Amino acid sequence: MTDDRIKKSLRYSILDGGFAASMVGIGESFFAVFAVFLKANAVQFGVLNSLPQALGSVSQLFSNRLISLFKSRKRLVCTAVLIQALMYIPIAIVFFLGTFRVYHLIFFICLYWFFGMILGPAWNSWMGDLVDENERGAYFGKRSVVTGFASFVSFMAGGYILQAFTLGTITQYAGFVTIFILALIFRVISFIFLTKKYEPEYQAIQEEAFTLFDFIREAKSRNYGLFVLYLCLMNFSVYLSAPFFTPYMLEDLKFDYKTYTIVNAAAMVVKLLSVSVWGRVSDQFGTKKILSMSGFMMPIIPLFWLFSRDVYYLIVIQMFSGFIWAGFEISSFNFIFDTTSPSKRATCVAYYNVLNGFSIFSGAMLGSFIAGHNSLLWSKYLLVFFLSCVLRYTASFVFIPKLREVRTVEEIGYPRLFLKIISTMPTMGTIYQLIPFRKGQKDKQE
């Protein structure tokens, strides 16, 4: 009976993820675009793209206490998801709040991220109990296909809606209201599927409790600690430039909403096509191998943005970006499960997110300062793109050699691994075959 409940829960999790991704695609993905519409400046862009995540990360320090208070990981996750959905209402109405509306937008997005991230450790711990450790890469790869497809379709729909509402300020605002209402609806549907999932019994082991300071102090001597330090430095480097791609495209390159959407959708399409392949090879050859390959290919991405403003060139760059980020994200995600025990997983994830939130905020603030005082190139954002590339490589060269694989996996060289991934990349016509809950695949899974 329990096995049946787990199988159903894993399918519900995929459906939950699909609708949650639809919320992100049509709502969250356009927060920065909404800020451009509200005339935000470079510093406000930096704060908007980093402070909400930083504050949301701090909230995770209280996750274990909240799990105890709610007496269930499921109740905590479902409550936070529902409140997060409702945040789209005040986000949409900041347009009427006058001179300080960008700051109001930042405030409500902070609340949105707070409730979206406070559930993270509980959700990770919950899913860690549901997914077999030998099938994590395959399962989360398939789940990522669904979430990636949902995110892509909803993102394209959001861009189409905004492009259709471009005649006048009020009309443009109506477009944003439309996509935010749809985002709210998608998150509510996600909430419904979450309520259907089974939650295995969970008991925190008190004697294994440890503080954030204990975690930091021992980080250099532990595999997971080194991994956290690596991701913190990497995300500091990424967010040095990440908040500024949207204003660069909309303000400096003068893209309309349709062009902006197409350029960004290119990355989403390739990520959708490649993520299941990355997941399978991660199970076979280890998360460390995939993390190493993607970790040394991903840093060059922002450098490519310096060489051309041509739309077709940027689409190709985004396609490469989607391919590499798919590998980096799924290997990073799986590495957390590989290197943490179930009894410590929620706490470890919470501490990682706190440190990561501080890194993201620091990187974005430094990027804001540089962008606001830079006049070396034709665009004030290009210097931060270059510096982001340098620092990303620094993070990979320093930390990746220190990480170790914790599972027994097959050996393979990097050139052969890369060719294996490329040769097994699916096409859009085969994406349907990868969806694990489609009719006809059900019997095979059960």
Distance in angstroms (rounded) separating the CA atoms of residues 80 and 299: 34
Please name which of 352, 324, 334 lies closest in space to residue 229, comparing C-alpha atoms: 352
Residue 253, C-beta contacts closer than 8 angstroms, at least 6 positions apart? 309
To the nearest whole percent, how much of the chain has pLDDT over 90? 47
Beta strand ranges found along 148-290 (DSSP E) = none
Q: What is the pLDDT of residues 324-383, one digit of tens each?
A: 999 998 888 888 777 777 667 767 777 888 888 889 999 999 999 998 887 777 788 899
Q: How high is the pLDDT of residue 338?
A: 77
Please check the confidence at residue 200 and state whether its pLDDT lies above 70.
Answer: yes
Whole-structure pTM value: 0.78
Tell me if residue 339 falls in helix, strand or coil. helix
Average pLDDT, the chain: 85
Say how far residue 10 (Cα) sits from the centre of its chain: 20
pLDDT (0 to 100) of residue 201: 80
CA dist 298 and 367 (Å) reads: 19
pLDDT band, very low/low/confident/very high, at 394 (cuts 50, 70, 90):
very high
Angle between helices 257-285 and 311-339 in degrees, nearest 10? 40
Distance of alpha carbon 338 from alpha carbon 335, whole angstroms:
5
Closest CA to 194 of 57, 79, 333: 79
Of 59, 20, 56, 61, the closest CA to residue 346 belongs to 61
Q: How far apart are CA 148 and CA 156, in angstroms?
A: 12
pLDDT tens digits, 220-239: 878 888 888 999 999 999 99
Distance CA 156, CA 264 (A): 9
CA distance 18 to 24: 10
CB 350, CB 121: distance < 8 Å: yes
